[in-house]
Each structure stands twice: as C-alpha cells, then as structure tokens.
Amino acid sequence: MRFIDEAQLDVIAGDGGKGSAAFRREANTPRGGPAGGDGGHGGDVVFEADEGLGTLFDLRLRRKVEAPSGEDGRGKDQYGATGEPVVVRVPVGTEIFDDETGERIGDLTEHGARVVAAKGGRGGWGNIHFKLPWDRAPRRADPGTPGERRRVRLSLKLLADAGIVGFPNAGKSTLIARASKARPKIADYPFTTLVPNLGVVSIGEDASFVLADVPGLIAGASEGAGLGIRFLKHLSRTRVLLFLLAPDFAEGRAPVADYDALDHELLAFDPDLAAHPRIVAWNKMDLPDAREVVDDVRRSVESRGLPFFAISGVTGEGVDALMAALYAAVQQARSVTRASDTSGPQGTT
C-alpha cells in the first residue's frame, strides 16, 4: 500500500427531518388536538483515530463522505429517526483542517480519539410543541435545519519521540534498522528512503522510545530541491532531533558544512522545529575515512555545545550509547513539557 500523508474530501452531514403538523383523528376523541412529532436529527460526519492504520491512502480515493438525514416526524406523536453518524477511520496523528478557512478542526493524537467534522442538522419541531391556551390547534411545524457541509484537508504527522535528520546516504535507514526492529529499504544510492519509517527502540527491559527516519535532505530542500521538505512535518511532533553526519568526500562536502546546511533547511521550514534539542552523531566509523577525521568533527561539534557520538550503524559501534543518550534527552523534554502543562495560570474562586 502506498504511503499517503495528505488527502482532501467533502464531508456532508445529514439534514434534520421536518416536523409534522398533524392532529388526532381517533374514534371517540373529539378535538384531539395536535399530534405531529419532531423530525430526527441529521447524522454527523466523525473522524476517529485508529492505531491500526498508517496511511491516508484509502481516503485519497474518496471524493466525499455523506451522512444520512433524519426522518420526518409523523402523526400520532411519532418522532422521526435520527440519522446514524458516519465514522471515518484515520491514522493516529492525523490533523483535520477546513480547507477554505484553514481552521484546524481537530488533531487526533490518541487511539480512539474523535472529532466531529460536520454536524448534523437539528430536527424540526412538530406542532405538539406549539399548542398554546389561545391556539389549541396550531398548524405550525419547523422544517429542521440543514447539516454542515465543508471541504476538509487531512494531514498525517507521524508520532515519534526522536527524529533522524541527515543527507541521503548518511546511514539513517541502517541506523534505525540496527537500533530497532524497523526494516526500511537500504541501498547504496541517494533517496533510498522515500517514505518515513518508525522504529521502537528498547532501552533495557522497561524503557523505550519511538525513532523516526525521514527521507534525506539536500542543500536547497526548502526551495524544492530533491524531495524538498515535504516529509519534515513528520518531525514536528518529535521532542529531540538526531543530526546524522557521515563522510562523503566524493561530493566534496565537509562534515560540519553538512550540519550547517541541515540546520539551515530546518530553520527555513519551521523555526520551532529547528529549536528542538539535538544530538549529533558521526556515522560510518567502520570506514577508514570516517576514523581519520572523527577527532576534528568532534571538536567542531562540541565547540557548539552539542553532544557528540561516533557510531557505526553497520557494526553497531557506539549505537547503544547513542540510543541511551537520545532516550535521556527525550525524557528530559517530556519532563519540561509536563512542567509547563502544570505551571499555567490557576483559576480564581
């Protein structure tokens, strides 16, 4: 199945049913009075997060989602049936926007979370509600209200604790395969990774975090070069970024220049994302070229006040220490988030 992280569709809630203007016509009940029931409410269009889904591919093929209308009211005080809601399942991490106004309708970050994207219309009142002392035979009934209609845009952002940023062939897929049970495509040519990958990294028996690998950036990505910055949104929910550097002398790039270029592309995409805590790793220590310059790279990175690790995704050298440091950084970021959530202004009595 193709990885699709954007979709648009029309959502149409059901209209409310009409109220009834009816009167009793029973034997031995003269002047029975009004007996028109209410119309049923229209069905809602609801989006629900499902952890079993990983793509918006199915919705990319749909043009619209329409909920049933409520039934009209009937005589003998009979109310119309309410239209059943239509529930659309989407992956966890999906944001729903009004495509016309840009307003965010919902952000489904937990399994089972729901948001009503289009509210069904209200059923109209029957004439049983309009009986008054001076009008005992009202012929009035409400028609009900129409359901909401809107075009929505769905945007999937994967949920991960830490994300890997690097140039193509820096070894991101090899590292996530080594550190977790994820099995991304690995080959020795640029842009092997064409879709984001997630892996769960275990730290001991009772601790773990989710690591994301997105397609590699190149200089000019923020202007559309290579695969552009389309997939960087999948890092926006992460707490920590891992900058993965590796020797690529055939391209004539200096390792620290790689870091600066990656930092520039992140800043151009989203300053908030660029402000995430970060760790720098020098990969491919199994190669002589990497070992020859590792000390120079270490000094340059640490002079910027950043944690530095020398690793090999192929042999596993230094990977455990790097994952432990990432986990510690994730935990620190989580504690900061919890503290900020509980230190907001208190209500007054």
Q: Give the angle 301-248-218 at the CA atoms, nearest 5°.
A: 80
The predicted-structure confidence for 197-211, as pLDDT tens digits, reads as follows 778 888 877 788 888
The predicted-structure confidence for 8-35, as pLDDT tens digits, reads as follows 999 999 999 999 988 887 776 666 788 8
Judgement on whether residues 168 and 315 belong to the same structural domain of the protein = yes
- Domain of 18? 1-156
282 pLDDT more than 50: yes
Judgement on whether residues 328 and 217 belong to the same structural domain of the protein = yes
CATH of the domain at 46: 2.70.210.12
Lowest mean pLDDT among 93-107, 165-179, 328-342: 328-342
- Residue 325: phi, psi to the nearest 5? -70, -40
Judgement on whether residues 140 and 246 belong to the same structural domain of the protein = no
Q: How many Cβ atoms from other residues are within 10 Å of residue 268's Cβ?
A: 15
pLDDT of residue 1: 43
Looking at per-residue confidence, does 298 or 268 come out higher?
Answer: 298
Is residue 17 assigned to a domain? Answer: yes
pLDDT of residue 186: 45
Judgement on whether residues 232 and 312 belong to the same structural domain of the protein = yes
Is residue 349 assigned to a domain? Answer: no
Q: What percent of the chain has a predicted confidence (pLDDT) above 70?
A: 83
pLDDT of residue 346: 46
Judgement on whether residues 220 and 135 belong to the same structural domain of the protein = no
Judgement on whether residues 167 and 232 belong to the same structural domain of the protein = yes
pLDDT of residue 45: 97
DSSP state of 162: E
pTM of the model: 0.69
Mean pLDDT of 247-252: 64
| Residue 177 pLDDT class (50, 70, 90 cuts) | confident
pLDDT of residue 221: 47
Judgement on whether residues 167 and 303 belong to the same structural domain of the protein = yes
Is residue 8 assigned to a domain? Answer: yes
Looking at per-residue confidence, does 344 or 176 come out higher?
Answer: 176
- Residue 107: phi, psi to the nearest 5? -135, 105
114 pLDDT more than 90: yes
Judgement on whether residues 254 and 281 belong to the same structural domain of the protein = yes
**How many domains does the chain divide into?**
2
Which of residues 97, 126, 156 is at a domain's end? Answer: 156
66 pLDDT more than 90: yes
Which of residues 132, 156, 180 is at a domain's end? Answer: 156
Mean pLDDT of 140-154: 93
Q: How many Cβ atoms from other residues are within 10 Å of residue 29's Cβ?
A: 9
Is residue 9 assigned to a domain? Answer: yes
Please name which of 236, 238, 248, 252 lies closest in space to residue 287, comparing C-alpha atoms. 248
Is residue 347 assigned to a domain? Answer: no
pLDDT of residue 194: 46
Looking at per-residue confidence, does 298 or 128 come out higher?
Answer: 298
Placement of tokens 């120079």 in the chain: 296
Which of residues 156, 184, 209 is at a domain's end? Answer: 156
pLDDT of residue 58: 80
